[in-house]
Structure 1
Amino acid sequence: MSRFDLTKTVMRQGVWQGVLTARAGEGDAPEIAVTHLGNPVAGVSVTAQDAPGRWALRVPIPAEAVADGVQTLLITDQASGAQLGHVTLIAGEALGDDIRAEIDLLRAELDMLKRAFRRHCRETS
């Protein structure tokens, strides 16, 4: 179990940002590791905030993580080895095909529901 809770705040200009909050009784600065496909992500920073037990986490998105398909960056607490969170990036043509297929399925289900509702209305009136 991790000593910290992680809350995403924003992702802007290729940098994912969040806030680490220490759980009760934990006050030491966190040691955070971020990996993509098992490789460490460079440039990760943890900065103390004004409130005790809170740190700002900044994770620059590596260029190799911007690719077709689904890419995931894992954020872990090095001291405990617990996963604190993840950043998921989805991009490319494969995504477009998936979304179009999902929309087609939703349309088919909606048409089926409309037919069933109309049949029900005819039968009960």
Structure 2
Amino acid sequence: MADLTLTKTRIHAGHYEGVLTAPAGHDPELGAFLNEQPVGELVLTPDPDAAATWNVVLSLPPDILTDGIQTFLLVDQASNTTLDSFTVITGEPLDDDLRGEIDLLRAELDMLKKAFRRHCVETS
């Protein structure tokens, strides 16, 4: 298994951009997936200034972006290893949005901590 490293540089104008480093002499084979289905046009261009480094650009087709949360995976096809992932949230804010759930869990945890501390004081 090759030691590949993919570092996202930015997502801009519907394109994921990153830098891939691999061992010398290794030609990487990357795939981009959404719900286990290949998506977009993935282009790897060797970096002329750095050996064993490629610039990665994934063009996201607009027809796959729908209301809700989509998580994209960038995978090394040879080893079936996920190198990077990113999430796109579109549409109206969801009632069960993950950020809202985390805020609710934090509030409940604070309430439980206070009740536990009060219980410890009362029983000692």
Shared fold, TM over 0.5: yes
Q: TM-score, normalised by structure 1?
A: 0.71
1:17 maps to amino acid = E
Asked if the contact 1:2/1:77 (under 8 Å) is kept, the reply is no
User: What do residues 94-123 of structure 1 show as CA deviations (whole Å, max 9, x unaligned)?
Assistant: 744233343223212211212322443466
**How far, CA to CA, are the matches of 1:77 and 1:19 in structure 2?**
14
Instruction: Give the alignment of 1:46-125 within 5 angstroms.
Output: 46-49=44-47, 50-78=49-77, 80=78, 82-83=80-81, 84-93=83-92, 95-98=94-97, 99-121=99-121
**How far, CA to CA, are the matches of 1:117 and 1:108 in structure 2?**
14
Give the alignment's Cα RMSD to 1 decimal: 2.8
- Indicate yes or no: 2:13 matched with 1:9: no
Higher share in helix: 1
- Closer/same/farther in 2, CA of residues 112 and 35 from structure 1, 3 Å limit: closer
Give % identity.
31
Q: Which moved further from structure 2: 6-15 or 69-78?
A: 69-78
Offset of residue 3 of structure 1: 5.2
Q: TM-score, normalised by structure 2?
A: 0.71
- Closer/same/farther in 2, CA of residues 2 and 93 from structure 1, 3 Å limit: farther
Unaligned runs of 5+ in 2: none
1:109 maps to amino acid = L
Q: Secondary structure, in 3 states, of the residue corresponding to 1:97? A: coil
Q: Secondary structure, in 3 states, of the residue corresponding to 1:11? A: strand
- Indicate yes or no: 2:50 matched with 1:33: no
Unaligned runs of 5+ in 1: none
